[in-house]
Amino acid sequence: MFHVNMLSCLLLLFLYYRIPLYAGVLITITDTFVFLFLDKYGLRKLEAFFASLIIVMAFTFGYEYVAAAPDQGQVMKGLFVPSCGDCGEQVILQAVGVIGAIIMPHNIYLHSALVKSRDVERSKKEAVKEANKYYFIEASIALLISFIINLFVVSVFAEGLHDKTNAQVHNKCVEHNLNMYIDVFPNNDTLVENVDLYRGGVFLGCQYGAAALYIWAVGILASGQSSTMTGTYAGQFAMEGFLNLKWSRWRRIVLTRSIAICPTILIAIFSGIDDLTGMNNLLNVLMSLQLPFALIPILTFTSSKPLMDSFKNSLLSIIACSLLAVSVIGINIYFVAVFLPTLPQHWAMYIFEAILLLVYFAFIFYLVAFFVQLLGWKFPPSIQRFFTAATTSYSLDNTEYHAEDDNVELSGSYGQQQLASYPEEDDTPGDALRD
């Protein structure tokens, strides 16, 4: 997340002012601190800021979509009949990265945690049902907008760059007098490939004029700031929930920014903008690879009768969500199978890849086994003992559920601390939608 924010700021500074990359990295260090001051003015102010960033992205990327005017029939065909017969590893990398960019795993925890900040009468099932309805609508709208924005971006570049040569884009740069970017696309007959955030922005400027280039930069900046803000809050809730660490936000930002800055500034000094923007694709792919670690546990928790009582997933929901999780895992496996042959071929690399894949799939197997055990499947005693300790802690001894009446009651010190740790707002989830 934090690299995405840095890359967005770097792109804006580099495209507008041609500021050296290392200087741009130093400038971006302070931006998140400034925006996080909004938290002092309440959750609604922060949500309004997020909404403004999304509006900026929608208008900027929507402008690019209108300017490109892709064939709407082909867009709809690609939505419902996707195909990629001659795709190379770079195209597959970008396609998998789109999944990670839309369904970011940390945002699943963020949405769960933000629910607790709402003023909901949790002792009444009807109030909880109403809240769930409006949270569902809210999350659906957010994902729909994210999907549309990504559809705009993918369609624009598919329309403008598919089967185009570098020389064709180069000539467009000459026509619009963008001489400072003229070397980005060499004057040769090679097909355009490896289009990243930077080269994509340059293409827009060459094809539709300098205004499109700068509008693209502003949209990328808004996207990066939104990603950083959500990442910061997701980190806060993860540290409080998993590690019971209640750090102030500025300390957490200092830690995460320090970790993010080191590799970024090294690449900025010793490499170039192409490597920095290419790193963004890899980060999005990494989020896609991490999705099973968020999807499977949340499917397990929400399907648990002891934990969710009457709010647990229905059989249809369990089947649908399981198929989606299997699809994500299958896409990731396909990507790994295509991408691994492009890495250096050395015995040490083979060992490293084997260990990494073994740990990755072993952890996924453990999560899946825990889930199917929850559904009633039985394992042999030799395997069952690996889940005994986890099942014991999962039984939630400090939580009492009264399924025979209309109340769901939380007891125990942990449950009360968790509910008290989030400030209550003076409105309910449905107020904004009802208004």
pLDDT number for residue 430: 38
Spatial distance between the Cα atoms of 147 and 101, rounded to a whole number of angstroms: 10
CA distances 197 to 63, 86, 214, Å, are 17, 23, 13
Between 307 and 250, residue with greater pLDDT = 307
The amino acid that residue 93 corresponds to is: L
Contact present, 426 and 119 (Cβ < 8 Å): yes
Lowest mean pLDDT among 96-105, 131-140, 152-161, 281-290: 96-105
Spatial distance between the Cα atoms of 361 and 329, rounded to a whole number of angstroms: 10
Interaxial angle between packed helices 166-175 and 197-208, expressed in degrees from 0 to 180 and rounded to the nearest 10: 50
Beta bridge partners of 191: 165
Tokens coding 151: 């559809």
Q: How confident is the model at residue 232 (pLDDT cuts 50, 70, 90)?
A: confident
Domain spans, the chain: 2-282
pLDDT number for residue 400: 41
Region 406-421 average pLDDT: 39
Instruction: Write the pLDDT tens digit of every residue in 80-115.
Output: 887 776 677 777 777 787 787 777 788 777 777 777
- Share the mean pLDDT of the chain: 75
Contact present, 364 and 292 (Cβ < 8 Å): yes
pLDDT number for residue 351: 94
| pTM, to two decimals | 0.71
CA distances 73 to 69, 78, 196, Å, are 11, 9, 26
pLDDT number for residue 358: 94
Region 331-347 average pLDDT: 86
The closest alpha carbon to 156, from 249, 219, 103, 229, belongs to 219
Report DSSP letters for 324-384, one per residue: HHHHHHHHHHHHHHHHGGGS---HHHHHHHHHHHHHHHHHHHHHHHHHHHHTT----HHHH
The amino acid that residue 116 corresponds to is: K
Contact present, 1 and 106 (Cβ < 8 Å): yes
Instruction: Write the pLDDT tens digit of every residue in 147-189.
Output: 888 888 888 888 888 888 888 888 888 888 877 778 888 888 8
DSSP state at residue 313: P
pLDDT number for residue 419: 39
Instruction: Write the pLDDT tens digit of every residue in 54-74.
Output: 788 788 888 889 888 888 888
Contact present, 103 and 291 (Cβ < 8 Å): yes
The closest alpha carbon to 46, from 117, 98, 103, belongs to 117
Residue 209, sorted as left (phi over 0), alpha (psi -120 to 50) or beta, turns out to be left
Spatial distance between the Cα atoms of 109 and 103, rounded to a whole number of angstroms: 12
Q: How confident is the model at residue 390 (pLDDT cuts 50, 70, 90)?
A: low
